[in-house]
Amino acid sequence: MEQRELPVMGSVMVVILALAAWLLVGRLFKSDVVFCRGILQGLAEGNVSVASQIDWERLKAVGVDVGATYRSLTTSQDQQRYQRMFVQKFAEGFRQAGGRLAAFREWRVHAREDDRMIVAADDETKQKTLVFSVSATRPKKLEAIQWQ
């Protein structure tokens, strides 16, 4: 092999590694968007299984510090009951407000903070943006959902 080929091979490897990193980061960001879409769908449909994807002790939802109420509950039965009731009430409120999952467009990673990812989706009917805060640590959990 000539000496000229080594720098070319090295350059090709750098490009391949950069492309792989770019694809991996894109996939990670996409997974945060998919995660938030799934939670919104579950909440809107009253699917209690999404409760496991929520950080109940930190949750802030549409201007309410849900976590403060949750932390005040003393038994695990009360906490589980509260989670079920929250999901049911969210679904009722979503329907009563005329919410439609299809109205949410332009799902995207809006920002990355130290320990969380911010995902946003535009509601074309309300002309507002719904913003999700998701812990960046594992397991991934929803910490906030707010209108902007």
Domains: count for the chain = 1
pLDDT tens, N- to C-terminus, the chain (148 residues): 555 555 655 555 444 444 444 334 443 445 899 999 999 999 999 999 999 999 999 999 999 999 999 999 999 999 999 999 999 999 999 999 999 999 999 999 999 988 899 999 999 989 999 999 999 888 899 999 999 9
State the CATH number of the domain containing residue 126.
Answer: 3.10.450
Question: 119 is in which domain, residue-wise?
Answer: 5-147
Nearest to 93 by CA among 148, 37, 46, 41: 46
67 CB neighbour count, 10 Å cutoff: 18
In the numeric block, the tokens 């009430």 are attached to: 89
Beta-strand (E) ranges in the chain?
Answer: 60-61, 104-112, 116-123, 128-135, 142-147
CA atoms within 13 A on the CB side of 22: 6
Q: Is the peptide bond before 139 cis (omega within 30 degrees of 0)?
A: yes
- To the question of pTM greater than 0.85 for the whole model, the response is no
